[in-house]
């Protein structure tokens, strides 16, 4: 699950750099750094729930 989420976050970052997604908070290309931050939080939550 964590590996799939990591790949999804990387793909979303690439898409954000090429063409901004347009969601609130992700309207500029420079906002790509917010995606791995959110992904990291989700990965930590998933990891703690699995134990």
Other CB atoms closer than 10 Å to residue 45's CB: what's the count?
10
Angle between helices 34-50 and 2-18 (to 10 degrees): 170
Residue 44, pLDDT score: 93
pLDDT at residue 7, rounded to an integer: 93
Domain that residue 26 falls in: 2-50
Tally of domains in the chain = 1
pLDDT of residue 11: 93
pLDDT of residue 32: 87
Residue 41's pLDDT is what?
94
pLDDT 10s digit of each residue in the chain, 51 long?
Answer: 889 989 999 999 999 999 998 888 888 989 889 999 999 999 999 989 987
Residue 39's region, left for phi above 0, alpha for psi from -120 to 50, else beta, is: alpha
């Amino acid at each position: 699950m964590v590996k799939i989420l990591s790949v999804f976050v990387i793909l979303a970052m690439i898409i954000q750099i090429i063409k901004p997604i347009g969601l609130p908070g992700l309207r500029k290309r420079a906002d790509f750094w917010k995606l791995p931050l959110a992904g990291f939080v989700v990965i930590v939550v998933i990891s703690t729930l699995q134990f």
